[in-house]
Structure 1
Amino acid sequence: MFRPQIKVLDCTVRDGGLINNWQFSDDFVRKVFLALARSGVDYMEIGYKSSEKYFSRKDNGAWKFCTEEDLKRIIGDTGAKMKLSAMADIGRIDQEDIPLKKDSVLDMIRVACYVKEVDKGIRLAHQCIDKGYEATINLMAVSKVLERDLDEALDDLSKSQVETVYIVDSFGAMYSEQIHFLAKKYREALPGKELGIHAHNNQQLAFANTIEAIIAGANRIDATLYGMGRGAGNCPLELLLSFLKNPKFDIRPIFEVIQDLFIPLKTEVEWGYHIPYMITGVLNEHPRSGMKAMAEKNLPDLRKFYEGLLDDEPLE
């Protein structure tokens, strides 16, 4: 699959930080940054842009906030051409927390919002655009949304200045047919805008669903190193780059940083496919119950865990 319009965004530090409250060392983040830059990845999403009025640095690492001071410690004088992104959640950041683009090393702000608050998402994205940034809208948990509500949100987005809109399979619940259906719907509703995909791996379909979105026209593609991310994790970057067959990508720095950092890290913090995450994905539920189960010293009785989420009488 070679399509030069495709742009790859790695969100390892941002999404992976949901596992350890973004407590990554500067050395870790810098090595990830350099490996991604050398590999030819288009964007690195280095963390969240959040307000310290709502979150504490005592509980969260630097990549929950992505201040210019934090960012410049990593970028330094590397001269890397890769673009930098941060994600902003509605209600967790104030306008004054985002400087003008001319005063920032960030290139893009991705606004994450639910369909019911798309108006607020568009407002924040427009504020970022007015400040000089690229901006996207990531519509979360669309597997739970009624079609008429999604249609209304897409209609609002079609009238906005936002140039890229992401399908987000927040619960890892969707199959290729649903991805294809949504991609077609988004494309028809959003003429002239780019389509993106962010897939979670609860049913081990993140890579397959990402491929399906690419086939259906998505050009903005999310992935993470070694699939790192909250719960079941995300589409693995190393699989995606191998699939794309674009000569601008060099997978060798990716293998090196995975071997040096991520294989050892996986012995300390857990992510990836596990039965509790599979169950939440199959049932189209938020992974929080699976995360709670995985945090216990011993796994729960999986049948009872499943039946508890079904909220039904046990089968005989």
Structure 2
Amino acid sequence: MFRPEIKVIDCTVRDGGLMNKWQFDDTFVKQVYHALADAGVDYMEIGYLSSESAFDRKEVGPWRFCGEKDLQRIIGDSEKKIKLSAMADIGRIDYDDIPVRSEGSLDMIRVACYVHQIDKAAALAHHCMDKGYETTINLMAVSTVGPRDLEEGLNDLAKCRVPIIYLVDSFGAFYQEDIEVLAKMYMERMPEKTIGIHAHNNQQLAFANTISSIICGINYLDATLYGIGRGAGNCPLELLLSFLKNPKFQVRPLIKVIEEQILPWREKIDWGYFIPYMVSGVLNQHPRAAMACMESDKKNEVTEFYDQMTSAAAGI
């Protein structure tokens, strides 16, 4: 599926950090950074851009903030090898804490929002654009949004200056036909925008749904090394690059960094296919209950979890 306008964004540190409070050491982040550059990946989302007042550095690692000193430790003295992105959550970053792009190492800021926050997201993204950044708006949890509200939200996004809008399957609830319908809706409502996809893997469909989105014309693709990410994780980057027939992409550097840095984390934290994450995806629910189950001493008591979740969903 060679299409030169396709861009690949790796979210390993940012989304994977949701599983360990961004407690990746510099060796991990540096090796991921160099591997992604060697593989030809277009962007590395190295974490979140947050104000220091929003989180306690004693509880979360540096990639919740993406401060310039932290970024410089990763880049080193040589020329930057790959574009760097950070995600901004509404209410967790003050406008004054966003540096001018020319004074820092970040290239792109992606604003995450829910449908009722579109106005605030557009304002924040416009502020970032005015400071020189590439921007996207990532519209989350659209599997929970009714058709009329979604259409109104997309109409509002069509009017903003942000050039890239993301379709986000936050709960891993979508199937191929959902992606096809939504991709068509996004493109028809926002014909001048580039559309992106961020898929979670609760039902083992993140890769398949990403392929479906590419066929539909979506050009910005999110993925992570070995699928690491919140809960069930994301579309695996090594699978995605193997599918894309662009000769600029090289898979071997990804395999090497997975062996050296990702697999050791597999022994410490659980992401990927587990029954609790599957249940939350099937029920189209936030994985917080599943994550709590997986972090408890009852993570293998999956029948009890299934009964509790399905009973709650049925209102029993």
Range of TM-score over shorter length:
over 0.9
Taking structure 1 as the reference length, the TM-score comes to: 0.97
Whole-Å separation in 1 of the counterparts to 2:81 and 2:305: 47
Alignment deviations for residues 265-294 of structure 1 (CA, whole Å, 9 cap, x no partner): 101111111000000000000001110111
Alignment deviations for residues 116-162 of structure 1 (CA, whole Å, 9 cap, x no partner): 11100000000000000000000000000011111111111111100
Describe the SS at the equivalent of 2:44: strand
Describe the SS at the equivalent of 1:311: helix
Q: Which residue of 1 aligns with 2:190?
A: 190
Q: Which residue of 2 aligns with 1:305?
A: 305
Which amino acid is 2:103 matched to?
D
Describe the SS at the equivalent of 1:165: strand
Which amino acid is 1:23 matched to?
Q
Q: Which residue of 1 aligns with 2:233?
A: 233
Q: Which residue of 2 aligns with 1:73?
A: 73
Q: Which residue of 2 aligns with 1:162?
A: 162
Whole-Å separation in 1 of the counterparts to 2:295 and 2:38: 35
Q: Root-mean-square deviation (CA), in Å?
A: 1.3
Long gaps (5+) in structure 2: none
Which amino acid is 2:166 matched to?
Y
Describe the SS at the equivalent of 1:249: coil
Q: Which residue of 2 aligns with 1:294?
A: 294
Q: Note closer, same or farther for the CA distance 1:309–1:34 as it changes in structure 2 (3 Å cut).
A: same
Identity of aligned residues (%): 62
Describe the SS at the equivalent of 1:71: helix
Alignment deviations for residues 61-100 of structure 1 (CA, whole Å, 9 cap, x no partner): 0000001111111111232431100000011111011101
Q: Contact 1:49–1:88 at 8 Å: present in 2 too?
A: yes
Q: CA deviation at 1:300?
A: 5.4
Whole-Å separation in 1 of the counterparts to 2:312 and 2:238: 40
Q: Note closer, same or farther for the CA distance 1:312–1:230 as it changes in structure 2 (3 Å cut).
A: closer
Describe the SS at the equivalent of 2:54: coil
Q: Contact 1:37–1:80 at 8 Å: present in 2 too?
A: no
Taking structure 2 as the reference length, the TM-score comes to: 0.97
Alignment deviations for residues 186-230 of structure 1 (CA, whole Å, 9 cap, x no partner): 000111210000000000000000001111111000000000001
Whole-Å separation in 1 of the counterparts to 2:163 and 2:77: 31
Whole-Å separation in 2 of the counterparts to 1:29 and 1:116: 34
Whole-Å separation in 2 of the counterparts to 1:117 and 1:193: 19
Q: Contact 2:283–2:313 at 8 Å: present in 1 too?
A: no
Long gaps (5+) in structure 1: none
Which amino acid is 1:75 matched to?
I
Which amino acid is 1:183 matched to?
A
Whole-Å separation in 2 of the counterparts to 1:24 and 1:261: 10
Q: Contact 2:4–2:246 at 8 Å: present in 1 too?
A: yes
Whole-Å separation in 2 of the counterparts to 1:27 and 1:112: 28
Q: Which residue of 1 aligns with 2:257?
A: 257
Whole-Å separation in 1 of the counterparts to 2:74 and 2:302: 43
